[in-house]
Structure 1
Amino acid sequence: MQENTMTAEHTESAESIQTSIIKYDPEFREAAQAIFDSLDPEAQKRAKIVGLMNAAYVGSKPRDSRLDLAFQAIIENVAATLFGRAGKQRAMMVVGESGSGKTTAIDWHIAKRPQFAPRKNAHGDWVKNLVFMEPEKPLTIKGIARSGLKALGYPLDDTTRMTAQELFDLWKVQLRENQVLYLWIDEMQHVLKGETTKEIQDVADILKSLVQLNGWPIHLILSGVPDLAKFIHLFGDADGQLKERSNLVELLPLVYPQDRKRIEKIIIETVTKHAGLLLGDDVLAKPDEDAEQPKTDGKPPYKFVLSEDFVHRVVHASKGQFGSIIQKTRSACENAMRLGSDTIRKANFAAAYAAGGCRPSQNIFLSPDWKNIDPDHSVTELVARKRGRGVAAVANATTTKKKTK
């Protein structure tokens, strides 16, 4: 096997910080402990590595720097009210495609800031500074208000006969009484699935109302796919108020070869630091491969460790999405460990990709024609072939779907 010649530059991406372990219900932890106790020592060791690996936050300086600024802005904006008036920007939006890692990034940035943690108020009662909610679909005034009340622990049985406006008014009262300062609403793009334009506009008006709540302005964290930005521009900008009150952070996909260095660091860090595995010779750069970047800022050139072909396949299989690259690498590590190997190889990535559902001919890590494979269609082709319909049927179905949009 080719030797792993890595420096601190390859394994320390500043960007990896251990998150706190997720808090599960005591009864669930008791059941999980019973399962853990039933495992043999090797399986227990794997379970521990997998748990710690999945709890590790793999970040990126460019992404996290933008998020730091946005979060600091809404924190300091609340404090600014002590000395006059808060600024108008009381909402931050984090948008990215599925698999971009936006929820994980937001969760980590919230967890590391004490300003979002519960606190004791002047009466000695514990209150939540921040509340998380994922509203019902499609988003309507009634749906978002009920979801908001549920997130506050309010009994919904008492609200069955309330009108939409009554529910919204109750929600605003409860937000104030519970002394909530920040509200994180995830999957906000579902508002665009409203049945009428008026319903969508009503939700936009609700958000504007919350950030302007008299005496108790709520600061919003809105997250979702890029359609969320479309919602703000189309429906929240009738009078310019929602747009000018929002700070947008877009998590863009990584692109090959421009982001090759960042992608390589993600893979190496996950494999060697989090999973404790070695890198196999079939994923390493070959000696004759042009593997150096030009010298910049007085620093020595960065020497690539992973092969160009392998990194490009990982990016393509993940559609460039930051979180998907991490998840596919973790799945490949799990596959290697369960096979009793201390080394990660391309075959482990192929197995992890196949677990999502695809035929060998559609496996990006196996096919010589991998650049022409659409990751979104791998499962579709598998299902179609099992039904005896073939690739042509998949193409027809895809074309029909596009026409009906």
Structure 2
Amino acid sequence: MGHGGRRMTHAQIAETITVLEGLHYRRDVQTTLRTEFDRRLYGRREEIRQGVVREGRGIALLGASGSGKSTVIEHLLKRHPELVLPDPGRERADVISFRVPSPASLKEVGRTALTALGYDLKRDRSATIIWGIVRELLQKRQTLFLHIDEVQDLKTSQSKQVIQNVINTLKSLMQHPEWPISIILSGMPEVRKMLNFDPQLARRFYPIALRPLSFTGDEEMLRDMVGSYLHKAALPPSSGIYTDEVLMRLLHAGAYEFGIVIEIIIAGIGEALMAGSDCLLLEHFAMAFRRRTGCYDGLNPFLAPDYRDIDPRKLFPEWED
């Protein structure tokens, strides 16, 4: 994949970037997630084998925007060697996954769950009836896990009664007398407020947090991340790219979130390849951030002296009043 000293074509650069975007950098939190998931998977299968019915247990994976929640869950479910995933030609599906729709009413969430289960709701039904059908289909398809993504949207602008209805629905799935379900919730940190709204629900979930990165705790991983992506792109680093100063600027530019940091690493490599450079330089990271946010140099974390005062998530920051 290396350019061997020759400027790469746009097609070759696009191919390289696509390969880099498809890489999966494994994190410690994934070991925890896989362990808790497997406990529920193999435990439930053994209960089924013995004819035992116990209430389902859940996992709550919470992290800020850009922390990599969706990637972590997708990798777990799609790469698990013993999961039967949904397939149009097969009734059994060990896991059903969907994203909370907008508007995020209990009824619309139920309709989305039915779609994920392959059911075509031909006429309008009440939320109670819809969720009754969901329960029947989960049992019919022998589903063990229901994964609901972006769960924070269930809580947004909802009354306490609506939130309680959501909680009661989740509990009813986990407490089904014949076919209890384990639920995986993924979303922003504010989901914990919904879980803590009902202590009975909270005790049924194992919490896993995708915490922000820090230079003190993640310096070694950060160096390895940059090196891994450069190696795959066959692009050497410049002599200063691994300095503490550059890596701290990279962390800040990525809002200290794992997924965003990786996006900037890949974008910086793309800028280096587009420029025909024979190594990755600080200026390539600066160019990548400029394209990402539309900022001028004074608000670019890779160039500004006081970069810690910059909010890296804002677009066109110089236009603010």
Name the TM-score, length of structure 2 as normaliser: 0.90
Whole-Å separation in 1 of the counterparts to 2:188 and 2:93:
27
Secondary structure at the residue paired with 1:342?
coil
Note closer, same or farther for the CA distance 1:76–1:225 as it changes in structure 2 (3 Å cut): same
**Does residue 1:282 correspond to 2:240, yes or no?**
yes
Aligned match for 2:32, one of 58, 61, 66 = 66
Note closer, same or farther for the CA distance 1:325–1:41 as it changes in structure 2 (3 Å cut): closer
For 1:44, the equivalent position in structure 2 comes to 11
- The one-letter code matched in structure 1 to 2:192 is A
Whole-Å separation in 2 of the counterparts to 1:258 and 1:364:
21
Secondary structure at the residue paired with 2:292?
coil
For 2:107, the equivalent position in structure 1 comes to 142
**Does residue 1:308 correspond to 2:241, yes or no?**
no
Q: CA deviation at 1:327?
A: 1.1
Whole-Å separation in 1 of the counterparts to 2:317 and 2:17:
31
For 2:256, the equivalent position in structure 1 comes to 320
For 1:175, the equivalent position in structure 2 comes to 138
**Does residue 1:375 correspond to 2:299, yes or no?**
no
Note closer, same or farther for the CA distance 1:135–1:224 as it changes in structure 2 (3 Å cut): same
Secondary structure at the residue paired with 2:15?
helix
For 2:4, the equivalent position in structure 1 comes to none
Whole-Å separation in 2 of the counterparts to 1:352 and 1:41:
18
Kindly indicate whether the alpha-carbon contact (under 8 Å) linking 1:77 and 1:86 is maintained by their aligned counterparts in 2: no
Whole-Å separation in 2 of the counterparts to 1:92 and 1:196:
24
Secondary structure at the residue paired with 2:82?
helix
Secondary structure at the residue paired with 2:313?
helix
Q: CA deviation at 1:356?
A: 1.8
Kindly indicate whether the alpha-carbon contact (under 8 Å) linking 2:62 and 2:188 is maintained by their aligned counterparts in 1: yes
Aligned match for 1:78, one of 41, 44, 52 = 44
Secondary structure at the residue paired with 2:24?
strand
For 1:56, the equivalent position in structure 2 comes to 23
1:92-107 matched pairs, under 5 angstroms: 92-107=59-74
Relative contact order (alpha carbons < 8 A, sep ≥ 6): 1 or 2 greater?
2
Give deviations 1:370-401, integer Å, cap 9, x for gaps.
12212234x252333xxxxxxxx2xxxxxxxx
- The one-letter code matched in structure 2 to 1:174 is L
Whole-Å separation in 1 of the counterparts to 2:307 and 2:8:
39
For 1:114, the equivalent position in structure 2 comes to 81
**Does residue 1:334 correspond to 2:293, yes or no?**
no
Q: CA deviation at 1:101?
A: 0.8
Aligned match for 1:271, one of 230, 249, 267 = 230
For 1:25, the equivalent position in structure 2 comes to none
- The one-letter code matched in structure 1 to 2:239 is D
**Does residue 1:248 correspond to 2:207, yes or no?**
yes
For 1:129, the equivalent position in structure 2 comes to 94
Kindly indicate whether the alpha-carbon contact (under 8 Å) linking 2:56 and 2:180 is maintained by their aligned counterparts in 1: no
Kindly indicate whether the alpha-carbon contact (under 8 Å) linking 1:53 and 1:330 is maintained by their aligned counterparts in 2: yes
* Structure 1: segments with no counterpart, 5+ residues: 1-39, 284-305, 385-392, 394-405
User: What is the RMSD computed on CA atoms of the aligned residues?
Assistant: 2.1
Secondary structure at the residue paired with 1:278?
coil
Kindly indicate whether the alpha-carbon contact (under 8 Å) linking 2:60 and 2:186 is maintained by their aligned counterparts in 1: yes
**Does residue 1:197 correspond to 2:160, yes or no?**
yes
Give deviations 1:45-80, integer Å, cap 9, x for gaps.
2232222211110112x2122112111122122123
Whole-Å separation in 2 of the counterparts to 1:119 and 1:134:
15
- The one-letter code matched in structure 2 to 1:97 is A
Note closer, same or farther for the CA distance 1:342–1:217 as it changes in structure 2 (3 Å cut): farther
Note closer, same or farther for the CA distance 1:340–1:380 as it changes in structure 2 (3 Å cut): closer
Larger radius of gyration: 1
Whole-Å separation in 2 of the counterparts to 1:350 and 1:143:
43
Q: CA deviation at 1:88?
A: 4.5
Name the TM-score, length of structure 1 as normaliser: 0.72
- The one-letter code matched in structure 2 to 1:145 is G
